[in-house]
Amino acid sequence: MLEGFTTFELLKLFAPLIIFELIFKVFCIVKMIKEGVRNLSIPIWLIIIVLLSTFGPISFLLFGRRRNYDKS
């Protein structure tokens, strides 16, 4: 598969996306550890963030992030 492309060419193509994805996932994991979660437990959110590309971190920010007023 993908014989027409060298590994370097593929890396160059996907570089912006790979970098973005990594930063986004790390950002969400840090947020999760620092602020806590809601709706699901930390291990489940961790699996969702790590395994689901882009939509995992987005769903965490939408449904899993603990907001300031949830803490009280």
Partner 1 sequence: MSSYKAYFKKELIEGIRNYKFLILAIGIILFAILDPIMLKLLPEILKGQTQGVDISQFMNINHRFSITNYMNDIYNIANIVIALTLMGVITDEIKDKNIVIPLTKGLNLEGLVIAKTLVYSLIITSFTFVGFIINYYYSQILFPKDLVSFSSVMKSCLLYSIYLLFVISLIYLLSSLFKKGIIAALLSILIIYTMPLIMNIKILSTYLPFYLIKQANNFNVIFDSTLIISILWTLIYIVIITVITIERLKRIEIN
Nearest to 48 by CA among 62, 69, 67: 62
The site string for partner 1 over 12-51 (x = CB under 8 A, - otherwise) reads -xx-xx--x---x---------------------------
Query: Which two tokens mark 14?
Result: 């996907």
The total of other beta-carbon atoms located within 10 Å of residue 49's CB is 23
End-to-end CA distance of the chain: 53
Q: Using CB under 8 A, count the residues that bind partner 1.
A: 18
Query: Which two tokens mark 40?
Result: 């699901």
Q: Which of 34, 51, 69, 71 binds partner 1 (CB under 8 A)?
A: 69
Beta-bridged to residue 65, according to DSSP, are: 37
The minimum distance between CB 43 and partner 1, in angstroms, equals 22
Nearer to partner 1 by C-beta: 16 or 43?
A: 16
Q: Which of 18, 22, 26, 58 binds partner 1 (CB under 8 A)?
A: 58
